[in-house]
Amino acid sequence: MIELELGELYRYSLLEYGDTVELRLYENRVGREKDFDWGIAGEVIAKRVGKIKGVNCATYSPALQCLSVKISKDAEGVDGIVRSILNIACEVLTRYATALGRAKLVLEDFDIEPS
């Protein structure tokens, strides 16, 4: 399985408002338009990121090609939360590069155990 560098796949922006920090990861599609079905991978990433403690909301917008994650400023270890988000994105996109990896990700998201 190929290892993907996250920097090759995403650009980011940070916004701050009220008691929330919003991290937006934008798809960097240069040379990769046909490698992934970004919509499904983005939804999988958003679902997994939404389970992280301290994350208020995680959504993926296919129209904007953007993963938006809202993190509470009061959350302990905001740096650790961002690191976790990037780790999840990298894991999903690396595994998503093969058909077998895509199938496993979908089954895991439905909490189906292998036999």
Give per-residue pLDDT as tens, 24-36.
Answer: 988 776 655 444 5
CATH number of 6-105: 3.30.70
Q: What angle do CA 70, 11, 25 make, to 5 degrees?
A: 25
What span, in angstroms and rounded, lies between the C-alpha atoms of 41 and 17? 28
What span, in angstroms and rounded, lies between the C-alpha atoms of 52 and 71? 10
42 pLDDT higher than 70: yes
Amino acid identity, position 25: L
Residue 69's CB: how many other CB atoms inside 10 A?
24
Interval 59-93: pLDDT, tens: 999 888 889 999 998 888 888 999 999 889 888 87
Name the residue among 53, 79, 68 with its Cα closest to residue 23: 68
